[in-house]
Amino acid sequence: MWKDQVLEEIEQIREEHARSFNYNLHAICEDLRKKQVTRNRKIITQPLIKLPS
């Protein structure tokens, strides 16, 4: 089976990042938000989509 080395590297980086926060989603998102601000990147937000009940 063919392997994409770039995707494998991205997956490895994401895994290491998540592990560094003990897979705590809240902590991971907070860290990513802080990085966006400190790197002066444009933050794109979208409204939540309401799903039919």
* pLDDT tens digits for range 14-45: 999 999 999 999 999 999 888 888 887 776 77
Give the pLDDT confidence score for residue 50 in this predicted structure.
77
pTM for this predicted structure: 0.64
> What is the tally of helices (H) and strands (E) in the chain?
2, 0
Helix axis angle for 5-20 and 25-38, nearest 10°, is: 110
More confident residue, 53 or 32: 32
Domain ranges of the chain: 5-38
Give the pLDDT confidence score for residue 24 in this predicted structure.
97
